[in-house]
Amino acid sequence: MIWTFILGAIAGWAAPHAEERLRPLVDEHLPGAPVGAAEMRAISLALCVLTAALVAALTGSGHGLPLALGAALGVLGPRLWEKVRGQRVPDYDS
């Protein structure tokens, strides 16, 4: 179960990084109107979580809830970490 949570967190963290590599593939294979930034983020997150779910299923630890919670933490984790860091360091310049 913890393995699935970790896979979800990695998938959520990797989604913004995968966007850059997925953009040319999506633009090439989905002709028509260009894909917006929000749609691209959603596609990237969905593909990363799907990959993590496949790995979890192949390793025999495919639980959906830890995977979803890990993905949410992976997406929100960097923002939350910056918020915590910003509260610890006083801003004397302002």
The answer as to whether 94 is a domain residue is no
Q: Is 35 exposed, middle or buried (CB count within 10 Å of its CB: 0-12, 13-18, 19+)?
A: middle
Q: Are 22 and 47 in contact (CB under 8 A)?
A: yes
Identify the domain containing residue 83 by its residue range.
2-88
Cα 35 from chain centroid? 18
pLDDT tens column, 49-87:
888 888 888 888 777 888 888 888 888 888 888 888 877
Pairwise CA distance, residues 46 & 56, whole Å: 15
The answer as to whether 93 is a domain residue is no
Domain total of the chain? 1
The answer as to whether 11 is a domain residue is yes
Task: Please work out, in degrees rounded to the nearest 5, the angle formed at the alpha carbon of residue 65 by the alpha carbons of 44 and 42.
Answer: 15
pLDDT tens column, 78-90:
888 888 887 776 6
Helix/strand/coil for 38: helix
The answer as to whether 74 is a domain residue is yes
